Amino acid sequence: MPLADHLRELRRRFLLAALGIVVGAVAGWFLYPWFFAAINAPMEAIADRGQGAAINFGTVGGAFDMRIRLSLFIGLFVSSPWWVGQIFAFVSPGLTRKERRTAIGFGVAGAVLFLAGGALGWLVLPNAVTVLTAFTPDDAVNLIDARTYLSFFTRVMLVFGVAFLLPVVMVALNAAGLVSGRTFLGAWRWLVLLAFLFAAVANPLPDAWSMIAMALPICALFFGAIGIALWSDRRRARRRPA
């Protein structure tokens, strides 16, 4: 295909991906009250505890700005299968049938794990906010900036989602023949250490039990990826001529 055709196809896929994000953002605009109620729930829990807490919109357009930002985040999250599919549709003509099936498998697994990690972050965050604000002195009030609060929520969800993608990267490296399953198995101590270091840095709660609860699912995914890599190595060894 000539370069001009490639560029036209890239532009078309980019516009389709952007259209999907816009549609998702419109849906996010109407879902905003539900999402805002969910992220505002910790504030109500803090108020029930007897401490003043509220999301503070520091400017006249602060509430509108937060609705736009949260709608865009919801749009990106909801429409992720669509725009990832557009990326795959752009590169798939240059792939063989086997490579196309492999790419679809990795894409589906990556999307599922990313959403699972984001969901885990969403479940952890309300408790994190409640625990962290418990250190507020009795004569003080929590007036949390809305933009900072939203950035905190979205950052933690994205970090959890990316962490759950690491096993997919491990399996992809093994499928490409760059790292064997035995190499991953020999480095299992380092992988466990990496999981706990990540949980210690990304964990918004100050206690060790929440860090352990975060690290254990990541370790389970690591060992699952090692098992898949070892199985793939044995299958390739059986297919290799004597």
Task: Give the CA radius of gyration of the chain.
Answer: 22
Q: What percent of the chain has pLDDT over 70?
A: 86
Give residue 3's pLDDT band: very low, low, confident or very high (50, 70, 90).
low
Mean pLDDT of 177-193: 83
Stretch (H or E) spanning 49:
none
Inter-helix orientation angle 208-239/146-175, to 10°: 30
User: Could you give the CA distance from residue 12 to residue 90 in angstroms, rounded to a whole number?
Assistant: 9
Contacts of 39 (CB under 8 A, 6+ apart): 125, 149, 150, 153
Asked whether the beta carbons of 157 and 118 are under 8 A apart, the reply is yes
Q: C-alpha angle with apex 126: 124 to 131, nearest 5 degrees?
A: 95
Q: What percent of the chain has pLDDT over 90?
A: 1
Task: Dump pLDDT digits (tens) for 48-73.
Answer: 666 667 788 878 888 888 889 888 88
